[in-house]
Chains A and B, each alone.
Chain A
């Protein structure tokens, strides 16, 4: 056979395989959407009829709404703390020169390296000692810690490509380091700081394992409630919640994409 035709045939087969793999990736996420509008409590596909009953079951439930409120508050709180802490660390990592920096960096990446279940045990232990189990502030603190590495990675990458001599000019003209950072550097790395904050928010939205250990009662997060419910039964209300969660996450990721793209254009022009 002509080798060119053979190449084309191999590539065709490869493309078919990739299409199947992409379907495997996408279908499970997409299938939840029609199921959430089903009027049947048996999650069969295609749904026998359409209704909004699972959405009203969510919005009519005090417990689910409380959990959603807790999750939103905790995720926002985590972003508020993790972002400045992470940006400060990323900045220092970029500018300080010391033998211990590699060590500090590894310490700050630990929340990402240590398996979530072990982090949860550690956080649970720390919280039992200081009476912060089942508190909102505890959840915010734990999620802020989990978000730190994301800020470090996102903002760190941006700072590495940022021309720091601009800040140096400002400082040589008498500006303090902090002011020079706020006035010269920060406006230019704003897109990555903003994305980092959103990544922390999304990660806190999704966080389940720590919440299982350190939140409970009225202070439970949405994902914890979902997990505990799913342990007993496949509740269709969760299809409605899943659809909304995915929609929120998708919007946030798109916002990040748009800010990044427009930022890219600015630097080009």
Chain B
């Protein structure tokens, strides 16, 4: 106890070098070698970051959820009744539908990219990963803008289809659910490629060789050995993409053309246009519940850090 008190004192006051006896021996990981008092000093390091998150996020969200149970000053579940009926429920269903479609499309596109990036030569791998990371770091707004330009009535896609004779009149590609889905797939694709790639890279090649030397065809080895070993990456990618879809705002707000309304836009409209905290609060609470439930379930299978590490 004296040693730890002395140590704490020293870590606070750098000028005190006189007492130089090595009071702390080599610290073994998780052996409890670190004293309690030192832990308390270390906890002060969390203070600035935690205070910011608590004040800007946790307290306001707590208040928001509390608020959702009241209507005109008295306890009332009216806000929730609205969420689970009529247009609000339809919006939630549409959001889940779009999120599911986007997630499936993203995984289908990401898997072969990650697979080829894992199995090709290092030079090609760098090129492929660069092409995946470039859009990853490009502004979401810029990418949505690009799709608005490409998919508009006089855009490149319509022009190309007209030139090829596939269509006679330009199609309505932007400002609807189709455009929203395409742009969302584009924005979220890197979020699935990266965890898949890191999962595939960890698979030792001799396991696959063993599989084929035992007589398995290439496809059999892929199906029975390779694919099951990538499930961690699949799960991380699925969780991340699905959750990002559920709360996506900018792309659907611009691409949806006001017709494809997603949950996030419901929140935005209630606050921006109607300043109706009550209506927005219950929508937020339900969305938040879904998001946390998904993270909680995924965390049972793979650590959360691994899922969020990609972002």
Contact = CB atoms under 8 A, between A and B. Distances in A.
Interface of A: 3, 7, 10, 14-15, 17-18, 21-22, 24-26, 28-29, 31-32, 35, 42-45, 84-86, 88-89, 91-92, 95-98, 104, 106-119, 121-126, 141-142, 144-145, 148-149, 153, 157, 164-165, 168, 171-179, 202, 205-206, 208-209, 212-213, 223, 226-227, 230-231, 234, 238-239, 242, 245-246, 249-250, 253
Contacts of B284: 118, 121
Nearest to B32: A97
B218 A7 contact: yes
Contacts of B243: 113, 115
12 contacts: A17-B112, A24-B109, A44-B159, A88-B49, A97-B32, A107-B53, A110-B57, A117-B268, A230-B148, A242-B146, A249-B137, A253-B137
Contacts of A14: 112, 115-116
A92 B14 contact: no
A173 B11 CA distance: 12
B199 to A, nearest CB: 17
B25 to A, nearest CB: 8
Given A29-B135, A176-B14, A245-B139, A114 B61 contact: yes
Given A115-B247, A176-B12, A250 B134 contact: yes
B93 interface: no
- Nearest 6 A-B pairs (CB), nearest first? A115-B247, A122-B60, A28-B146, A92-B45, A176-B14, A96-B42
A3 B217 contact: yes
A173 B50 CA distance: 32
Nearest to B25: A172
B152 interface: yes
A227 B142 CA distance: 10
B49 A108 contact: yes
B56 interface: yes
Contact of B45 (A43, A91, A106): A91
Contacts of B155: 43, 45
The A contact surface, by secondary structure, is helix
Contacts of B250: 208-209, 227
B189 interface: yes
Contact of B11 (A21, A117, A177): A177
A171 B132 CA distance: 44
Given A175-B14, A206-B141, A250-B134, A109 B149 contact: no
B287 interface: yes
A124 B63 CA distance: 12
Nearest to B150: A28
A104 B263 CA distance: 29
A31 B128 contact: no
Contact of B43 (A44, A98, A118): A98
A223 B141 contact: yes
Given A111-B53, A206-B140, A31 B146 contact: yes
Contacts of B138: 29, 245-246, 249
Given A84-B48, A125-B63, 8 more contacts: A14-B112, A15-B116, A18-B116, A22-B128, A22-B131, A108-B49, A114-B247, A117-B249
Nearest to A179: B14
B12 A115 contact: no
A96 B148 contact: no
A85 B48 CA distance: 6
A231 B50 contact: no
Contacts of B22: 172-173
Interface in B90-134: 109, 112-113, 115-116, 128, 131-134
B136 to A, nearest CB: 9
A269 to B, nearest CB: 21
Contact of B64 (A22, A28, A122): A122
Given A153-B305, A223-B141, A227-B141, A142 B56 contact: yes
B46 A121 contact: no
A205 B139 contact: yes
Given A25-B186, A88-B48, A115-B243, A123 B56 contact: yes
Nearest to A119: B57
B49 A85 contact: yes
Contact of B288 (A118, A176, A227): A118
B239 to A, nearest CB: 11
**Of residues B46, B186, B190, B249, which shows the largest number of chain A Cβ atoms within 10 Å of its Cβ?**
B46
Contacts of B300: none
Given A92-B45, A113-B295, A148-B52, A97 B139 contact: no
Contacts of A245: 138-139, 142
B13 interface: yes
B52 A88 contact: no
A206 B187 CA distance: 13
